[in-house]
A and B are shown apart, each in its own frame.
Chain A
């Protein structure tokens, strides 16, 4: 093995260098960041995967209780929220597009729109949780259910854990979007450097896709 020469130039301590010292170029850094986000999403799939396995096992064991329980969820609100999230994916994609083209204000507006839609989703979710609370559908000692209450309780445990964890991901996403808005407004992202916007977009789309699975599995079973 012999000593090389090639990348030494990239090590200069130039102030305007747009990438960290361990990388050779901005593209190098961008590629690494992208791969990192995909690996992170793979990890997330397994994280939710444990819950989907639990859901599958219990639905197979107690199909009737699951179908009955599902009728207690509000399909109208659920569908509305699904539409809201899909719209937020669109605004997110437009924000990424804006960043790539270096359009500062388009970016900011679409990021704000995404945050707004995310908040609408969480607001509706809060209303739904409130309904469940009033209907005594929170698992635990006060749980009331007409029918196979024991197994309906499992459905609602999974409902709250799955949607709660999903909502937590949205909260984190909204916080990150908030930072992006602030930085985008100061012109941090342009056609040369837009990794943070693009990667947050990947994350946001992933969170949406989780909901696309949660919605039919939780709201639409036992309906024909």
Chain B
């Protein structure tokens, strides 16, 4: 096949660096966030190696503190947050809604450049001595006590924040204004709904972290009193502002992943999603409620008991739409025709890991219980179940599912299945023991620890090794497939959805003629109504 597509439409490095095509920009993001993921993974590996023994004998305490800080900063701000929206969202949203591009292609390219500049600041901070504040930058440590590169790291996050904001803005306008004729809101694929909800968080949350992190830099640089108590400030105010964004940020990571899972479950069980409206609206509910629960990170900060009670009860409420989604995915499987292709294995793995992550989230929302496990490995395990078990499983599932569309090649099925299973096993072995270590009382961010925690830590490190191999597998065979993979047909999964009506890979303008939509998403089933049970 030698037809013109977005990859061969133009040649040379500048045709990529100056592209306005959303698909090419998605590829730019894919390459840059993969590099950041490998860097963050390297830090993780070193953390796990250090924790093999109770004595801090591999690296110094300072180095260890920098390792977990930089692992967090790189993974959260430069991998997890942009991962699905900037790569798959960018590539797919215009195609899913029958548009020729995002509403603002130049702004889209500018977002990528902001990401790169932000990442360069962070890399500068990392390679000229590192940062040791923890990714949470708690004051007054970050403004008054730390002697590391806090300011460049803060500026990197600030700049990268505007990349997120502009991406969110672009998505919101695109989804509002660029839908194909007939594509009403309740015919949108759930992937698009998930990104709409995510974009709202980008728009309303990111500016708050931007200004907060800027204030940290200002206080540090000019000794302006804002958070430092010796200058009259309130260090807990920082925590409020920080978590006002950083809690919703977790939903930035998980909502797009949930959107992917909805696509995968329907396609590989050949069923319409069970309860489309509930799944769509639950994304919005999570985005909105997600802004009202930040105080559950402050139960031990001296926050008033009444505030803690309110934040606790609201945190339980946000669990309900998440539970609704899990139940609906499970019900979608009922009477389906289920095929265990690699993306589906990721999706089913997601359900399992997200369920554990979500349930342990309820543990932490339970006030009296949180007192004991707050800031221990229980929390570490919980949020890795959500961010790694949830977000990354969804991301990898999505990458596999749309790989034929993105690259024009099929990935090799059996290595992919083995990879998915390896990641699932490695993940659980890494993080499940951390729940136990946390309840036993092992605090997070500890370079040395009492010897009774060693067995669990050794298990965790062993799991991390398997997990690392699991992540290298897709990296290897996906690169291999670019050259040796089978040429992909336009619609290898017999999937519904406008993106599959284009050639693989799609031409620059996506659609030769604007499609007209006449029915809802996921028309996989025999269209005769059937009763549930």
Contacts and interface: CB of A to CB of B under 8 A. Distances in A.
Are A and B in direct contact (Cβ within 8 Å)? yes
Interface of A: 1-8, 11, 20-24, 28, 31-32, 35-36, 39-40, 42-44, 46-51, 53-54, 57-58, 61-62, 139-141, 150-151, 153-154, 157-158, 160-161, 165
Contacts of B105: 20, 22
Given A4-B515, A6-B516, A46-B204, A32 B177 contact: yes
Contacts of A8: 512-514
A140 B204 CA distance: 32
B218 interface: yes
A1 B516 contact: yes
Instruction: Find the residue from B173, B204, B240, B496 having the highest chain A CB count within 10 A.
Output: B173
15 contacts: A1-B516, A4-B515, A22-B103, A31-B177, A40-B169, A43-B206, A49-B207, A50-B208, A54-B215, A139-B222, A150-B225, A154-B225, A154-B231, A154-B232, A154-B233
Interface of B: 94, 99-105, 107, 165, 168-170, 172-173, 176-178, 180-181, 203-208, 210-212, 215, 218-219, 222-226, 231-234, 237, 240-241, 244, 496, 498, 501, 509, 512-519
Given A32-B103, A57-B234, A139-B224, A47 B211 contact: yes
Contacts of A49: 207-208
Given A22-B105, A139-B222, A154-B231, A35 B173 contact: yes
Contacts of A139: 222-225, 231
Contacts of A44: 207
A1 B208 CA distance: 42
Nearest to A20: B105
Nearest to B510: A22
Contacts of A165: 211
A184 to B, nearest CB: 21
Contact of A21 (B101, B204, B240, B519): B101
A interface secondary structure, majority: helix
A39 B203 contact: yes
A2 B104 contact: no
A50 B243 CA distance: 12
B173 A4 contact: no
Given A4-B515, A35-B176, A43-B165, 7 more contacts: A1-B498, A1-B515, A8-B514, A36-B107, A36-B169, A54-B237, A140-B224
B532 to A, nearest CB: 26
Contact of A157 (B173, B180, B204, B226): B226
A4 B181 contact: yes
A192 to B, nearest CB: 19
Nearest to A46: B207
Contacts of A22: 94, 99-103, 105, 178
Contacts of B205: 46
A42 B203 contact: yes
B233 A57 contact: no
A48 B176 CA distance: 26
Contacts, number: 146
Contacts of B101: 21-22
A4 B516 CA distance: 5
A140 B223 contact: yes
A161 B212 CA distance: 11
A57 B240 CA distance: 11
B232 A6 contact: no
Contacts of B517: 1
Given A22-B105, A32-B177, A2 B516 contact: yes
A183 B509 CA distance: 30
Contacts of B218: 157, 161
B241 A50 contact: yes
Given A32-B178, A36-B103, A154-B233, A21 B509 contact: yes
Contact of B518 (A1, A43, A57): A1
Nearest to A49: B208
A193 B237 CA distance: 46
A157 B169 CA distance: 31
B226 A54 contact: yes
Nearest to A1: B517
Nearest to A157: B224
A39 B215 contact: no
B225 A157 contact: yes
A48 B516 CA distance: 42
Contacts of B515: 1-4
Contacts of B102: 22
Contact of A154 (B178, B207, B226, B244): B226
B397 to A, nearest CB: 24
Instruction: Find the residue from B219, B232, B237 having the highest chain A CB count within 10 A.
Output: B232
Contacts of A7: 513-514
Contacts of A50: 207-208, 211-212, 215, 241, 244
Contact of A150 (B180, B226, B231): B231
B215 to A, nearest CB: 7
Contacts of A46: 203-205, 207-208
Contact of A47 (B103, B180, B208): B208
A211 B512 CA distance: 49
Given A31-B177, A46-B204, A153 B518 contact: no
Contacts of B514: 4, 6-8, 24
A153 B225 contact: yes
Contacts of A36: 103-104, 107, 169-170, 173
A65 to B, nearest CB: 8
Given A57-B237, A157-B224, A160-B224, A51 B180 contact: no
Contacts of B226: 54, 154, 157-158, 161
A3 B182 CA distance: 12
A47 B210 contact: yes
Contacts of A32: 103-104, 173, 176-178
A53 B240 CA distance: 10
A39 B172 contact: yes
A24 B99 CA distance: 10
Nearest to B176: A35
Nearest to A45: B207
Contacts of A31: 177
B86 to A, nearest CB: 17
Contacts of A57: 234, 237
Nearest to B222: A140
Instruction: Find the residue from A44, A48, A49, A139 having the highest chain B CB count within 10 A.
Output: A139
B450 to A, nearest CB: 39
A26 B513 CA distance: 19
